[in-house]
Chain A
C-alpha cells in the first residue's frame, strides 16, 4: 500500500556545469560574447550602449532610445518596420540607469540581414520633427496613464529617495516632454550610440562567417572609453507618502542602498533575501498574503548597480491595511533578528535556491545571462560554484548576523502611495 503521507526520497543537486561564452574582440575593450550551442533555429543579439538614463539632460537618453528606428533621410519609420518585420524580427530598445540596449530575437538565418537594417537605421536617424513630436506625445500620454497607478507613484518616489543625489535619482515630471531640443537629441545619439557600443551578446547556432560579419558591422560603433557610473549612494531614510485620493489599494516600498555581487556578503544575503521575501513560501508571503490576506503578492529583491546595489520590498495592499502591513514587515525583520531560522526552513531554502540556480543555468540563453551578470564586475563563472558552496554552508547564526547588519528599520526608505 502506497504511503501518501511520506514524501518521495530527494536527491541533492550535484555539480552544475557552468559554460562560458566564446569571447571575441571587436576592439580592445569592446567584446562580443557568443554562445553557439543552440539546438534549434532561434537566435538573439543584444547591443549594449553607453547610453543610460544617468547620462545627459533628464529624459534625453530615453527619448533617443525611443527614436532609434524612427526613420532616416532615405527611409520612413514604416519602411524600417516593414523591412524588419519581413525578416521576422522581434526587436526592442531599452534604456536603464547605466546602459541602453537594443535586443533582437529572430531565426538564425535572418540575424545578419536584420542587423544590417538596424545598423543603417541607427546610423542615419534623421530626428525628423514629426517623429520627435509624435514620440513625445505618446510618452506624455503613457506618463499620465502611469501616474494613475499607485505602483508607479510609489516606485518613482522610492527611486528619488533611494538614489537621491545621483543622476539615477532624477525624477521625470510632465514638462520634460515639452521642452526638447532636437540638437541635444542628435548630440546624444552621436556620442552615445554611434560611438557608444560597449559590448555585443550573441546566441545562436551561427557560422564563423556570420560572427565575423556581425563583428564587422558593429565595429564602427565600438568605443574604448571607460564608462562613468555613479559611485556614492545614500538613501534618504524615513517614511515618504504620495497621495492618490481615489486609490483603493496602497503601494508600499521599503528598501535601502546595499551592494552588488562584488561584496563578500552578497551571496549570503541572497539566502536571507530568499527567506524573507523571494519565494512563494517566504516569511513575507506566508504572513501578509497567506495568513492575513492583505495582498495578492509581496516580495523582496536585491538589484545591482555598477558600483552598488539596493534591497527592496514591494507590495500593493488594501488601503485599510497599509499601516498594518508596514507593522507586519517590521515584525518580520525583528523576528529574524530575535529568533534563529530553524534548520528545517533553512534546508528548504537552500534546496530551493540550488534548484533555481540549476534552472537558471538551463540552456544557452539562460547560461549567457548568468555570465553577463558577472561580466561588468570582471568576475568568472567560478562565482556560481562558490555560490553553491556558500549556500550549502550557511548557518542560522550567519543569517541573523546579516539581519542585524543590513536590515535595521532605521536604515530604510519607506514609501507609501495611496489615499
Chain B
C-alpha cells in the first residue's frame, strides 16, 4: 500500500505528498499534462524541445541546475506522446530549493534566443544519435504514421522531421508555455520524510502565488477504426531483416488495456513466452523476438518485434507467427501459464515500488488518470484477469485488419 495525501492550491495546482521515513532523500516530481499529442502537425517535436528549454533559466533564476546541484541534488525530465515529467532528487533537508526552482519555472520562463538556438541544436543531435545514426533507429518514425492516420500518435515525440525543430521560433515557444504550463495543468508530488503540515506550508509558500491560468481543452481527432491490413517495406543498411507488427489496443482507462498488457506478456515478455518458445527455440526462425505495449493514454499499440534468422523469409515467418496467434485465439490458456505471468507482474511491481522516485512519478500519473489511489488498485485489476479475458482480447485485436506491419529489409547482402 502506497500512502499519500492530496491537497489543492487555490490556483488549481494538485499536490500529492508521499511520506517515506526510510530515506534521507526527497523527490519533487512535476507532471505537466502536455505531450507530443498536443502539438500541431506542422510543428512537431515541440513538447520535447520545450522540455529542454525548461532548464534554460526562469524569471527570477538564471540557471536551473546550478542551485539544485549546490543543494546536493540533481534533476532530469522526459517527454512522451502523452505527458511531460520533471523530477528533482536531493537531500531532504534542502527540499525548499527544489520547490523554489520548480515553482519559478512554472511561474515564467526567461530563456534567451541563444538558449533556444543551442537547445535546437542539442535536440537535433539527439534526433540523429537516437533515430538516424543507429541501425533500426528510424523504425518508430516509420511505424507511427503507418499505424495512425489521424491521431497525433502518428508522429514521434522527437518530432516528425528535423526541419520542424529547426523552424521553431521564440513566438512558438512562448505561446506553448502560456497555453500548457500553468498550475491547473500540473500535478506536483513531494516524497520524503516530512510532516504533511510542513509540506503544505512550503508548497503554498512557493507555488501559491502563481496565477492559475486555465487548463487547456484537449480536442483530438479520434483514430478511426482500422479496417484493413497495412504493410510497408523499407530497405536499410542493416545486417538482418526485422519486423514490427503493430496492433491497435484499448486506451489506458479501459479494462481492456490491462488484458492487452497480459496478452503481450503471454506472447513475448520472457524466454518462456509463446513467441520465444515457438518461433525462436522450436522453429528457429528468428534471432530475437518480443512483444510489448506502448502504454499510451489514448488507443495504443501492442507490438510484436524481432529479427529474422538468415535464410528465413518474411513470408515464412508471417505464416508461423499467425499460427501462434490463432492458437491463442482458439484455445484458452491454462491457469499455470496465467499464474506465471502474474507472478512476474507482481515481482516487477515490488521492485518498481522500491524507489521513491518511481512512487512519486506513478502517483502523479495515476492522478492524471483520475485518482492517485489507482496505484494501489492496479494490481487487483491484473489479478482479476482470467484466461477467458486474455482470449477475448486476443480475438479482438490480433487480426490482420487491426494490424500494421513494418518490414525492414537488409540491403547489405545485395551489395556483397
Contacts and interface: CB of A to CB of B under 8 A. Distances in A.
Interface of A: 2, 4-5, 7-11, 13, 39-42, 76-78, 81-82, 84-90, 105-107, 110, 134, 137-138, 141-142, 144-145, 147-150, 246-249, 279-281, 289-296, 316-318, 347-349, 351-352, 354-356, 358-359, 362-363, 365
B277 A293 contact: no
B287 A8 contact: no
Given A280-B74, A293-B125, A13 B271 contact: no
Q: Considering the complex of A and B, which 8 residue pairs feature the smallest CB-CB distances, nearest first? A: A355-B72, A293-B121, A144-B239, A88-B343, A8-B96, A88-B347, A81-B271, A148-B135
B69 A42 contact: no
B66 A348 contact: yes
Interface string B286-299: 01100000000000
A348 B69 contact: yes
Contacts of A10: 70-71, 94, 97
Contacts of B346: 88, 107
B87 to A, nearest CB: 13
A41 B100 CA distance: 36
Contacts of B336: 86
Given A4-B107, A85-B343, A318-B125, 16 more contacts: A2-B209, A13-B72, A82-B340, A84-B272, A86-B340, A145-B135, A246-B237, A281-B66, A290-B122, A296-B129, A351-B71, A354-B72, A355-B73, A355-B90, A362-B23, A362-B25
B67 interface: yes
A148 B237 contact: yes
Nearest to B277: A78
Nearest to A282: B69
B271 A85 contact: yes
A352 B72 contact: yes
A107 B347 contact: yes
A135 B61 CA distance: 55
Contacts of B211: none
A294 B125 contact: yes
Interface string B80-107: 0000000001110110110110001001
A148 B309 CA distance: 18
Contacts of B24: 358, 362
Contact-residue bracket for chain B:
35 or more
A141 B72 contact: no
Nearest to A293: B121
Nearest to A285: B65
A13 B66 contact: no
B97 A8 contact: yes
B232 interface: no
29 contacts: A4-B59, A5-B61, A10-B94, A10-B97, A11-B93, A78-B272, A78-B281, A85-B340, A85-B343, A86-B343, A88-B347, A107-B350, A110-B347, A141-B307, A145-B135, A145-B238, A148-B135, A148-B237, A247-B133, A281-B69, A290-B122, A291-B118, A293-B118, A296-B123, A347-B70, A355-B91, A358-B91, A362-B25, A365-B354
B232 to A, nearest CB: 21
Contacts of B384: none
Contacts, number: 198
A134 B347 contact: no
Nearest to A83: B272
B272 A144 contact: no
A290 B119 CA distance: 7
A397 B210 CA distance: 45
Interface in B129-166: 129-130, 132-136
A322 B164 CA distance: 25
B270 interface: yes
B379 interface: no
Contact of A150 (B65, B133, B272, B287): B133
Nearest to A41: B350
B128 A248 contact: yes
Contacts of B209: 2
A358 B240 contact: no
Contact of A296 (B70, B107, B125, B136): B125
Nearest to B344: A88
Given A248-B132, A355-B72, A137 B287 contact: yes
Contacts of B392: none
B348 interface: yes
A294 B121 contact: yes
B354 A42 contact: yes
A318 B127 CA distance: 11
A324 to B, nearest CB: 13
Contacts of A11: 91, 93-94
A39 B94 contact: no
Nearest to B62: A5
Interface in B29-67: 59-61, 65-67
Given A78-B272, A148-B134, A148-B239, A292 B69 contact: no
A67 to B, nearest CB: 13
A2 B204 CA distance: 11
